[in-house]
């Protein structure tokens, strides 16, 4: 048993430290992550966009109830909403349902927009660019040869415009993993085959 475990561990280590490329080609999808490409170009090169929508609905201040009255909701209706004070909802649907349970459908239909405006906060939407990464290109679906040439030009210092310096920070990974030209070509091929539609995950 012990010998078996040692043997498995050895295989694992070999997997981790085996020089890639020159001996056998590695899965380009894994390489893309191992070389940290995804931290700047997004999962599968789909760009640095939000993978999900993040929002919260939350009547966290008494002033919010006062605001509802100011915005035209009758005091009696607003009072019925007090049980929702400080309860957090991650989805608009749940929030609206809670409102409806307290004030009924008709009033909900009439007032929900006001209440959502007061208690809701959208942090970001799925598919939105993550701030700070506006100039970090998406690769998914781009032409293989183009991607390959750009990578080489950036890493070999021929393309020095824009933010390319940021990418040259990965050179140590390229060297320590013995990444070959063939690896770059297979990463480019992999990226060009990732299907991408605007706003898609």
Q: How many CB atoms lie within 10 A of CB 186?
A: 21
Q: Helix 144-155 vs helix 181-193: angle between axes, to the nearest 10 degrees?
A: 140
What would the two tokens of residue 44 be? 């599968």
Q: Which is nearer to ligand HEC, 39 or 97 (CB)?
A: 39
Q: Which of 8, 97, 163, 176 binds ligand HEC (CB under 6 A)?
A: 163
Q: Which is nearer to ligand HEC, 106 or 161 (CB)?
A: 161
Binding segment for ligand HEC (CB under 6 A), chosen from 99-107, 113-121, 130-138, 192-200, is 130-138
Supply the minimum distance, in Å, between the C-beta of residue 50 and ligand HEC.
Answer: 18
Q: Which of 200, 168, 148, 161 is nearest to 44 (CA)?
A: 200
Q: Which is nearer to ligand HEC, 59 or 151 (CB)?
A: 151
Q: Does the protein bind ligand HEC through residue 187 (CB under 6 A)?
A: yes
Q: How do 54-58 and 120-124 pair as beta strands? A: antiparallel
Phi, psi of 157 (to 5 degrees): 80, 15
| Residues contacting residue 102 through CB under 8 Å, at least 6 positions apart | 80, 81, 83, 84
What would the two tokens of residue 97 be? 């349902």
Q: Does the protein bind ligand HEC through residue 166 (CB under 6 A)?
A: yes
Q: Does the protein bind ligand HEC through residue 49 (CB under 6 A)?
A: no
Q: Does the protein bind ligand HEC through residue 161 (CB under 6 A)?
A: yes
Supply the minimum distance, in Å, between the C-beta of residue 198 and ligand HEC.
Answer: 16
* Chain contacts with ligand HEC (rule: CB under 6 A): 35-37, 39-41, 135-137, 139, 147, 150-151, 154, 159, 161-164, 166-167, 169-170, 187
């Amino acid at each position: 048993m012990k010998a078996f475990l040692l043997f498995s561990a050895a295989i694992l280590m070999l997997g981790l430290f085996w020089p890639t490329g020159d001996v056998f080609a590695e899965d380009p999808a894994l390489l893309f992550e191992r070389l940290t490409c995804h931290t700047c170009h997004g999962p599968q090169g789909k760009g640095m966009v939000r993978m999900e929508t993040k929002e919260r609905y939350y009547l966290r201040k008494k002033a919010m109830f006062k605001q509802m009255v100011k915005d035209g909701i009758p005091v009696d209706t607003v009072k019925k909403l007090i049980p929702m004070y400080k309860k957090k909802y991650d989805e608009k649907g749940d929030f609206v349902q809670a409102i409806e349970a307290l004030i009924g459908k008709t009033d909900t239909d009439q007032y929900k927009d006001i209440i959502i405006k007061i208690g809701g906060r959208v942090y970001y939407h799925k598919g939105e660019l993550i701030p700070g990464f506006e100039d970090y290109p998406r690769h998914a679906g781009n032409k293989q040869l183009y991607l390959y040439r750009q990578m080489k030009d950036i890493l070999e210092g021929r393309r020095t415009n824009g933010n390319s310096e940021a990418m040259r920070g990965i050179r140590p990974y390229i060297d320590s993993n013995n990444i070959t030209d063939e690896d770059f070509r297979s990463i480019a091929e992999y990226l060009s085959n990732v299907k991408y539609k605007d706003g898609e995950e």
